[in-house]
């Protein structure tokens, strides 16, 4: 069973676009797989 990662689109946009963190670094912060972050950014 996988757990749901609660992260808002606004927060993702801030981390990815404004702070220019990679999806790998964001995934590490939220303790999830980078593909989760990549899919939500699209």
DSSP code string of 8-32: -HHHHHIIIIIS---HHHHHHHHTS
**pLDDT at residue 32 greater than cutoff 60:** yes
Q: How far apart are CA 36 and CA 39, in angstroms?
A: 5
In this predicted structure, what is the pLDDT of residue 3? 75
The reported pTM is 0.84
**What average pLDDT is seen over the chain?**
92
- pLDDT at position 17 over 90: yes
């Amino acid at each position: 069973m996988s757990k749901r990662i609660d992260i808002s689109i606004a927060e993702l946009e801030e981390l990815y676009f404004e702070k220019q963190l990679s999806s790998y670094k964001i995934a590490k912060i939220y303790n999830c797989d980078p593909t989760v972050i990549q899919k939500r950014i699209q």
